[in-house]
Structure 1
Amino acid sequence: MKLHRQLLTAAVAAALFVPAAHAEVAIDVIGGSEITFEGLVQADGNWFDNDVADLNGGDAANGKDSEFELRRAELVLKGKGPGNVEWVVGYDAKADKFLDTNIKYKLGGNSNHYLQLGQYKQPNSLEELSSTKNNDFISKAAVTNTYAVARRLGGAWGYGQDNWSVTASAFGRELTRNLAHGSGYGARGTFAPINEKGQVLHFGLSYVAYDTDADTLRVRARPNADLATVRLVDSGNMVDTDRVTTLGVEAMYIGGPFKAQGEYYSSKAKRMANDNYTSDGFYVSGLWNITGETWGYKGGVPGTGLPDNPGSGMWQLGARYDHMDLNDGNLSANPVAGRPPIVDGVLGGKMDIWTVGVNYYWRSNTKFALNYVMVDSEKYSSSARGFVNDDPNILEARLQFFW
């Protein structure tokens, strides 16, 4: 299902006529539903300072240590009403897939108590549930991209108040064909003992369990560079897996112009012919709004506001540390001289990543981001008969327009 470039161009052109104070385009009221149109366009550039692996090699190799790509081209229709009904239909013209496409019914008119049917982000991961257009860094943390279950078809129930929430979901495959499969369920609970304007303390706990697609699982991660074609840590295909369970723990503190957050994931794959496979990882990050703005908080998720002075914009500085451990096995010497070591279990590797970045939000529709990523990874290589370090650095830039 390819969306014509002319349609995307027309959508962006229409958005340019939206007054700067508004974040969406009002369409009309049809059948008691107030319909609005939103969009997000992101263009990325990655410059690789490779160490061992060619991070933009393989089928995408262009003979250069750089990649440039339209990262997202999201088009979204939203409706409020009639009554307590809300609906959304989203499509990414770049990735050729559906985004949030669902209907929500607010029980008793309470936005914190609802039933939801369709495709939506599953109740896990603070970073995954946060708005893509306001990501703190160009790439989500490696652990978020690896362990978080994103959009799936299903049904959910949510309930809460201003300072707590509980969400439960049962889900299946993605709406778009040939993408993620595997039925399962998930739940997330949040609690904010402090929830005031400009000051929030948040804790969260989530759990998801789902079947693997065709009994096959592969756990791997890019080095926090979305345009990289190589994964520096990789479990390889495990063809005897039955079910995956992932526990997520999250915390966040907002104090005026400062925000700190972190998440830990522990994932276990049940295997039928081998020992179960367990891997884990975490990230911690901090962000400072130099121009003094703070964040909002609703439904257990932070929200980035507009610049206090749209003309001069909003500046952010941030830093993040990621760690992943995909090793769940041992390496022992081979008793036969000259033969490679014996691997017992899975040695998918370890990866530590530092990311520093700056974001600039101009008015209500434009964002510029620049990140520098420093990677320290180690993985067993059968050809080298030992562990190999690969420590690249990556410069990343993003230009974003949204309405």
Structure 2
Amino acid sequence: MKLSRSTLSVALLAVLAAPAAHAEIAFDVIGGSEISFEGLVQADYNYFDNDFANLNGDAPDGKDSDNELRRAELVLKGKGPGNIDWVVGYDAKADKWLDVNAKYKLGGDANHWFQAGQFKQPNSLEELSSTKNNDFISKSLVTNTFGIARRLGAAYHYGTNDWGITASYFTRELTEHPAPTPHGPGFGFRGNWAPINEKGNILHFGLSYIDYDTFTDTVRIRARPDADLAGQRIVDTGNMTNADRQSTIGAEAMWVTGPVKVQGEYMQSTVDRYNNGNPRQSKDYDANSWYVSGLWNITGETWGYKDGVPTTPLPDSPASGMWQAGLRFDTIDLDDGRAIAGATPTAASVVDGVLGGQMDTWTVGVNWYWRSNFKFMLNYVMVDSSRYFVRTPAAPYADIPANNNVLVNRKVDDNPNILEARVQLYW
């Protein structure tokens, strides 16, 4: 960690030395490449009003709150030589590589390119948007659960400022730790179309499809309650064995009118499972999730549009900043099966299929972009969830084990509330 902290200190000094710069810090031109430096530092605080699960379970201190340096991203970018753009990014907090790739613009066209290396895969409007401009502190349930982020691979893109198609082949992540958890190879497609595309008036639609080998024969799908520091996933399928491939289809839409932005996404994911002679452990598994959100720039700014995603403006008045108010409804359904009642009222039920649980959340948020390099966020999350649990002697209501053909004793409702805050520095 000493190297990471030293590197982060240098980055902070660099941005403080140039407080007027809202974008990257230009370094030099080396070998025909214009090199610049970007950074993102985020610190989060979560307060948990627990209901059933202890959401601060990763911290055995008996407290109801947690705080953490969330990201410390350092990024070098280059334009050139020729039609080549390149990027090398590293997160000193998570100790992992971010975007590490090169892009060749065919014929010099910014909308027609080939890319190789590690990059975000072509799915999810929210995932492809810049992290520093997230509308809410936690990304949505659908993005965090089913979105495929950065993987090593190659992609081809063709389009205009109003539409585009992207095809990608990918393998593992460049950094896979703390323990090796390899991702199998896969492919993805995304198409985006903006029939209306002008400043302050944007209508966007998108479709995506991702399919990949699970690599191992076990898949587990679970989700935190829209709180990145939560130590528990309160909906969880447990380990699903005999898994072969996982595919996800997604649909997205966004509408910008003046200072208001409304967007939503839906994804359905299927785990293909091979036959092992036990029909309860061989059924293909389906899950889905979606959200819809609204954001209002109280101070009147509006959004732009580039590469099939919205772009967030700078404050019209840097001294007073840009204020935003937002509301999001989020839902996920990890149940694909049923509980068959026991022979007697006190007997446990048997699960036919997978019962990972269901969860709905409402998030209310306020954002303040101050000057050109700072952002402050405050969110309040209300959770409504339910999930089947199994009783064991060692853990009275432990997680559902791996074989999906288990005895369950009761369905548990878990409805916590969470207060979240974030301080952000970027350049």
CA distance in 1: counterparts of 2:348 and 2:329, whole angstroms: 34
1:345 lines up with 2:353 in the alignment: yes
Deviation at 1:386, TM superposition (A): 2.0
Q: Secondary structure of 2:142's match? A: helix
Q: Do the aligned partners of residues 229 and 268 (structure 1) sit closer, same or farther apart at CA in structure 2, a change above 3 Å counting?
A: same
| Partner in structure 2 of residue 233 of structure 1 | 235
Deviation at 1:279, TM superposition (A): 0.2
| Partner in structure 1 of residue 406 of structure 2 | none
Does structure 2 conserve the Cα–Cα contact (< 8 Å) formed by 1:285 and 1:319?
A: yes
Select which of 197, 216, 219 maps to 1:217: 219
Q: Report the identity percentage.
A: 66
Does structure 2 conserve the Cα–Cα contact (< 8 Å) formed by 1:3 and 1:96?
A: no
Q: Secondary structure of 2:17's match? A: coil
The one-letter code matched in structure 1 to 2:15 is A
| Partner in structure 2 of residue 150 of structure 1 | 149
Of 163-172 and 338-347, more deviation after overlay is shown by 338-347
CA distance in 1: counterparts of 2:43 and 2:181, whole angstroms: 23
| Partner in structure 2 of residue 388 of structure 1 | 412
- After superposition, what is the alpha-carbon deviation per residue over 1:218-249, rounded to whole angstroms, capped at 9, x for unaligned? 00000000000100100001121010000000
| Partner in structure 1 of residue 321 of structure 2 | 313
Of 164-173 and 381-390, more deviation after overlay is shown by 381-390
CA distance in 2: counterparts of 1:143 and 1:4, whole angstroms: 31
| Partner in structure 2 of residue 255 of structure 1 | 257
Select which of 373, 377, 381 maps to 1:365: 373
Q: Secondary structure of 2:11's match? A: helix
The one-letter code matched in structure 1 to 2:73 is E
Does structure 1 conserve the Cα–Cα contact (< 8 Å) formed by 2:4 and 2:93?
A: no
CA distance in 2: counterparts of 1:49 and 1:254, whole angstroms: 35
Does structure 2 conserve the Cα–Cα contact (< 8 Å) formed by 1:40 and 1:72?
A: yes
Of 328-337 and 294-303, more deviation after overlay is shown by 328-337
| Partner in structure 1 of residue 46 of structure 2 | 46
| Partner in structure 1 of residue 55 of structure 2 | 55
Q: Secondary structure of 1:23's match? A: coil
Q: How does 1:96-175 map to 2 (within 5 A)?
A: 96-175=95-174
CA distance in 2: counterparts of 1:301 and 1:216, whole angstroms: 34
CA distance in 2: counterparts of 1:166 and 1:61, whole angstroms: 48
Q: Secondary structure of 2:320's match? A: coil
CA distance in 1: counterparts of 2:71 and 2:167, whole angstroms: 29
Select which of 309, 323, 329 maps to 2:331: 323
Q: Secondary structure of 1:16's match? A: helix
| Partner in structure 1 of residue 311 of structure 2 | 303
| Partner in structure 1 of residue 32 of structure 2 | 32
1:401 lines up with 2:420 in the alignment: no
CA distance in 2: counterparts of 1:180 and 1:34, whole angstroms: 35
| Partner in structure 1 of residue 202 of structure 2 | 200
TM-score (norm 1): 0.98
- After superposition, what is the alpha-carbon deviation per residue over 1:137-163, rounded to whole angstroms, capped at 9, x for unaligned? 000001110000000000000010111
Q: Do the aligned partners of residues 137 and 180 (structure 1) sit closer, same or farther apart at CA in structure 2, a change above 3 Å counting?
A: farther
The one-letter code matched in structure 1 to 2:7 is L
Deviation at 1:22, TM superposition (A): 3.2
CA distance in 2: counterparts of 1:85 and 1:352, whole angstroms: 44
The one-letter code matched in structure 2 to 1:387 is K
Does structure 2 conserve the Cα–Cα contact (< 8 Å) formed by 1:2 and 1:96?
A: no
Q: Secondary structure of 2:249's match? A: strand
Does structure 1 conserve the Cα–Cα contact (< 8 Å) formed by 2:315 and 2:370?
A: yes
CA distance in 2: counterparts of 1:40 and 1:344, whole angstroms: 46
Q: Do the aligned partners of residues 86 and 212 (structure 1) sit closer, same or farther apart at CA in structure 2, a change above 3 Å counting?
A: same
| Partner in structure 1 of residue 7 of structure 2 | 7
CA distance in 1: counterparts of 2:30 and 2:218, whole angstroms: 46
The one-letter code matched in structure 1 to 2:425 is F
Does structure 2 conserve the Cα–Cα contact (< 8 Å) formed by 1:2 and 1:93?
A: no
| Partner in structure 2 of residue 81 of structure 1 | 80
Does structure 1 conserve the Cα–Cα contact (< 8 Å) formed by 2:19 and 2:373?
A: no
CA distance in 1: counterparts of 2:84 and 2:337, whole angstroms: 50
CA distance in 2: counterparts of 1:357 and 1:61, whole angstroms: 29
Deviation at 1:303, TM superposition (A): 0.7
Moved segments of 4+, more than 6 Å:
none
TM-score (norm 2): 0.92
- After superposition, what is the alpha-carbon deviation per residue over 1:248-292, rounded to whole angstroms, capped at 9, x for unaligned? 000000001000000000000001131000000100000000000
The number of residue pairs the alignment matches comes to 402
Q: How does 1:260-279 map to 2 (within 5 A)?
A: 260-272=262-274, 273=276, 274-279=282-287
Q: Secondary structure of 2:283's match? A: coil
The one-letter code matched in structure 1 to 2:145 is T
CA distance in 1: counterparts of 2:182 and 2:360, whole angstroms: 27
The one-letter code matched in structure 2 to 1:31 is G
The one-letter code matched in structure 2 to 1:163 is D
CA distance in 2: counterparts of 1:320 and 1:299, whole angstroms: 24
CA distance in 1: counterparts of 2:4 and 2:333, whole angstroms: 42
| Partner in structure 1 of residue 405 of structure 2 | none
Does structure 2 conserve the Cα–Cα contact (< 8 Å) formed by 1:331 and 1:343?
A: yes
1:280 lines up with 2:288 in the alignment: yes
The one-letter code matched in structure 1 to 2:219 is L
Q: Secondary structure of 1:60's match? A: coil
| Partner in structure 1 of residue 16 of structure 2 | 16
Deviation at 1:123, TM superposition (A): 0.1
